[in-house]
Structure 1
Amino acid sequence: MNAEIFNQLARLPCFKGLDVSVIPLVGSGNNPCCKVIGHQNSDAFFVKHLGLQNIDAAMPSTNKNADIKLYANANLVNHSAIKPAMHSETNVLAMNNALADISPAIVYQDSQWQVQRFINGTSLQDCALSHDEKTAIAMDVMAALHATKLEAGSLAPLDLGSALRSQVGLLALNEDSEQRLMSLINTVCPTEQGIAAYAANNVVTHGDIHFGNIMVEADERPWLVDLEYLCLAPREYDLAMFIAINPLTLEQFISQDCRKYKYKDSDDKSSNHQNGHVQPFPGLAVQGYQASSGANVNVDLLRAYLPVCLLLNSLWFILKGRENEKFIASAHWQINAFESLTQSSTLSYLFTN
């Protein structure tokens, strides 16, 4: 964490006037993260710098107004130096109550920072479990999140079209490349009319559930962290993003081997059954989710979301790759998966601008 970011953190209202230690966390995510320990009461907090690209990005956030600070009812908030915005505090308190058994409390959030209670555990990614065991835990956590209820207006609805267009703008491509990319986005992105039919089934979605965003305590209790992209969307969006960002799960989805997975209920009359034949079941992630949630997954909608998630991830990794080359490999495999899934022409021009 560089000095400029550290100084910004030290000036956050939730830490103002407090004696704290800041410990950078290596490998804890794609943006700078640290652990902050308060010396007075030994409280520990996980702090994530959301990155400048998140200020203008259209991905929904718990913070509907980037200039409003959000506070929760934690020890730091009770410090005399803090003057919380009450309507924002109420909003976050409601969210913390709804997610109390799923995610550590949000202590503070603005356009660049998110502060949560620190979970003293190991990321699911680093746990000594098989991929299938990790997937089962992730699906349990996802199902629990989707079952939560928040008051109307607490979260913004998903807007993938705006998110993609925002990423294109941040990439600052040449005119020809931008036109080619925008044409592709208009082709693969689900239309508002097409998605509107599923709005009644919207749930609270995380938007970035992967093994690294689930912390497991010593008692094996999992916690979902990194809530910056919470939004209202069909459950299939969260599943698509999970599949897109997990290489083995994605390979299983795209592979012909996925045809061995069948729906348990052959009498299901959903759109996933055509001409009286059971359609391919896309892997253990969806099986596990359906078992945990008791909800039916619309695989057609899942398939519609998946290429959009792959493309959005690709653009994000390319943008991050300009700062750190370690992200370029991730951009390449996301693009390769997108091309394989959509049978589209090469997107190599995105790396030459």
Structure 2
Amino acid sequence: MKFDQAILDQQQQSLVRELCHLPCFNQLKIDGIRYIDAGLSNACFHVSYENKSFFAKHLSANSIEPLASQLAASNGIAPKLVYVDHNWLITEFITGQGLEKSDQSEDEKIAIVLALLARCHSIFAVNISHHSHGTHQALAQKILLSDLNLPIKPCIPNLDTSATIKQLLQKTELSVAQDNALHVLLAMLEKSLADTIKIVPNRQQVLCHGDTNFSNVIQRVNDDKTAKPIYQLIDFECACIAPIEYDLAMLMAVNHINANKVERIKLLYQQALISLNLQKNPLDIVDNLASKVQDTLEISVELVTCYLDLSFLINALWYLAEYQSRKQLKYKKLAEKQLNILAIRYPQANIFLNEMR
């Protein structure tokens, strides 16, 4: 086997060898595999095999991405799955353009993402009180994927921001000053969230994508120029069961959308939900449907704001951990960008920034 050393490092070469021996590919050649030098997470490849294109992603341990991807694909909002095992996710390869490269306005991009999220959230949804943990777990078990090629079937996890932050801290080296500031900041954010949840209990729990960066939304190429554009979601490795407000908040955080747009995003999401319901129930009267949606799904701006602050912190710690591990400047810049926004409301974030510079 020969590799272009200018393109593939030793680890990538090892992954390419694994790809060649997957059961879904018979005698796949090295020259049919191209490393995708984009994105910020796991290694990904473009595979050309038998005149077809496939997307291959190397998975983290115990990844729930295959399950979430399959749920989304079965509802037409993600690429079709071809093969899954403990280490690999193989899907059809989407030919198209990422939404981040579109010349559309920010509001137009947000509306596109929200339309996809409304469909994702409708895969299953239930109102769950704080005293119905068993019901929540039963719901999660219902979406186990029976046809995954895994000995132990995964389950979409419940959102736990505290656990997520603790896991990130284990991967991050902080100074004493940073650590102290973090715990003060985290206590403030968690208290704010707890106080808000008391005011808006029984939130609807849904399947959240968890990372709707505009680059994770692809407009598929369509030869019919008059046809309506088709958009799909990719990269479900951060999927979780959570309130709708969390997905809206993370959408804002990862795309650096100004916090003053919360009300606008709430309106656009409700419009997306009405449009989705009209597609399912075309004979409904729009005014009646709008009233019904308003009554049964009132998005809490306060809860979105709480999750937005936590999202900034989660993203900043993730980027910081990646920067310390990979020594790539792009991660440091992204961490600083998240912290800069958070520091507008919480001065403790400046301690991180001051020591990172």
Q: TM-score, normalising length from structure 1?
A: 0.71
Change over 3 Å in CA distance of 1:300–1:109 after alignment to 2: farther
Offset from partner CA, 1:258-289 (integer Å, 9 cap, x none)? 5xxxxxxxxxxxxxxxxxxxxxxx24322211
Q: TM-score, normalising length from structure 2?
A: 0.70
* Matched positions, count: 288
Structure 2 partner of 1:225 = 234
1: CA distance, partners of 2:214 / 2:69: 26
Runs of 4 or more off by more than 4 Å in structure 1?
A: 14-17, 28-31, 91-94, 108-113, 190-200, 349-353
Q: What SS does structure 2 have at the residue aligned with 1:289?
A: helix
Offset from partner CA, 1:194-213 (integer Å, 9 cap, x none)? 75975651000000012100
Structure 2 partner of 1:137 = 112
Aligned equivalent of 2:38, options 27, 33, 40: 27
Structure 2 partner of 1:246 = 255
Change over 3 Å in CA distance of 1:120–1:94 after alignment to 2: closer
Measured on the aligned residues, the alpha-carbon RMSD in Å equals 3.1
Change over 3 Å in CA distance of 1:173–1:299 after alignment to 2: same
Measure how far apart 1:130 and its partner are: 2.0
Identity of matched residues, %: 24
2: CA distance, partners of 1:346 / 1:43: 50
Aligned equivalent of 1:203, options 186, 201, 206: 206
Structure 1 partner of 2:294 = none
Question: Do the aligned residues in 1 keep the contact of 2:70 with 2:80 (CA within 8 Å)?
Answer: no
Question: Do the aligned residues in 2 keep the contact of 1:96 with 1:106 (CA within 8 Å)?
Answer: no
1:1-353 to 2 correspondence within 5 Å? Answer: 1-12=8-19, 13-15=22-24, 17-20=26-29, 21-38=32-49, 40=50, 42-49=51-58, 55=61, 61-62=63-64, 95=71, 99-109=74-84, 113-149=88-124, 152-153=140-141, 154=143, 155-175=156-176, 177-189=178-190, 198=201, 201-219=204-222, 220-247=229-256, 249-250=257-258, 253-254=259-260, 282-294=262-274, 295-322=297-324, 323=326, 324-344=328-348, 346-348=350-352, 351-352=355-356
Change over 3 Å in CA distance of 1:296–1:343 after alignment to 2: farther
Change over 3 Å in CA distance of 1:6–1:160 after alignment to 2: farther
Question: Do the aligned residues in 2 keep the contact of 1:177 with 1:350 (CA within 8 Å)?
Answer: no
Question: Do the aligned residues in 2 keep the contact of 1:105 with 1:117 (CA within 8 Å)?
Answer: yes
Question: Do the aligned residues in 1 keep the contact of 2:336 with 2:353 (CA within 8 Å)?
Answer: no
**Comparing 137-146 and 147-156, the one that deviates more:** 147-156
1: CA distance, partners of 2:89 / 2:195: 34
**What 5-or-longer segments of structure 2 have no aligned partner?**
1-7, 126-138, 144-155, 223-228, 275-296
Question: Do the aligned residues in 2 keep the contact of 1:36 with 1:44 (CA within 8 Å)?
Answer: yes
Measure how far apart 1:152 and its partner are: 3.1
1: CA distance, partners of 2:349 / 2:53: 48
